Structure 1
Amino acid sequence: MKKQILAAVAISVFAVACTKSTTKTEQVEGADGSVTTTTTTVTESSPHVVDSAKVNQAKQDVNAKLDKAGDKIDDAAQKAKDKIDATADKTKQDLNKAGQNIKTEANKVGKDIKSGAQEAGKDAKDAARKGAAKVEDAAKKLKEDLSK
């Protein structure tokens, strides 16, 4: 769309540039010896007198400039895409690292809970042994007391 508009403008400029202007100056001497100067400007504009070589050159120039502008836009878009891709990659890496950190910490917590449960189990067994030993001692004493 932009190319068409610019091409139309370029053609219009060259059509106006093809206008022919002529200036004529006449001096007329009167019978009494006075001189009168008249300047006349004649402007001719013919739509049939368009230099196609100039129009084609202008069209090529416009197309070249439009191609340059399009290339600049494409370059800017590519740079923006590259920045977005880089940001997405960094974000992905950060999320992966955070996930690994959470997994590591969860494993540590799980190990702590497991070791704590094992220690509690050992303590309960020790307490049960001690309690059983006391019950046995008390039973022996009771047996001795009863046998006396």
Structure 2
Amino acid sequence: MKKNILIAIAVCGLMASCTKSKTETEKIENPDGSTTTITTTETSTGIVDTSKINEAKENLNNKVDQAKNDIDAKADEAKQKIDVAAQKTKQDLNEAGKDIKDAAAKGAGKIEEGAKKLKEDLKK
């Protein structure tokens, strides 16, 4: 039991001794001539560098966003091509329908003419 407590204390001491700190002091001159001093202190344990993790996370998010935008752009482009093809198909079908109506009307006219001739021939 004493060994475990001593090991725990040693690990805590080691972690505390691995602490890095970075202090930055910035002096800013105000418009009225006075100066303001800002001191920033960053402390890290060195075991896990959260700034690198956050940077990697940000890079990953940027790549995911870029991939999403690329997918959306490709999907929009495909949709536009499909819309154009559908519109052309609709026009082609409308023209085909008109051609069929014209052909049917001509055929009906010829049948009527043939029927009239047959009727006249039968009367003779």
* TM category, shorter: 0.5 to 0.7
Q: How does 1:46-125 map to 2 (within 5 A)?
A: 62=17, 64-65=19-20, 67-70=43-46, 73-125=49-101
TM-superposed CA distance for 1:106, in Å, is 1.9
TM-score, with structure 2 as normaliser: 0.62
Distance 2:90 2:103 in 1: 20
Q: What's 1:131 paired with?
A: 107
> Which structure has more RCO (C-alpha within 8 Å, separation ≥ 6)?
1
Match of 1:130, SS state, is helix
Report the identity percentage.
Answer: 35
Q: CA deviation at 1:112?
A: 2.3
Report the RMSD for the aligned CA atoms in angstroms. Answer: 2.8
Rg larger in structure = 1
Task: Tell me the number of residue pairs that the alignment of Structure 1 and Structure 2 aligns.
Answer: 95
Structure 1: 5+ residue stretches without partners: 8-58
TM-score for both structures, normalised by structure 1: 0.53
Counterparts of 2:120 and 2:111, CA distance in 1: 14
- 1:147 is displaced (CA, Å) by 3.0
> For each residue in 1:31-88, what CA deviation from the matched residue of structure 2 results, as whole angstroms up to 9, or x when unmatched?
xxxxxxxxxxxxxxxxxxxxxxxxxxxx7xx365373454981211111011001001
Which structure 1 residue ranges, 4+ long, deviate > 3 Å from structure 2? 66-72
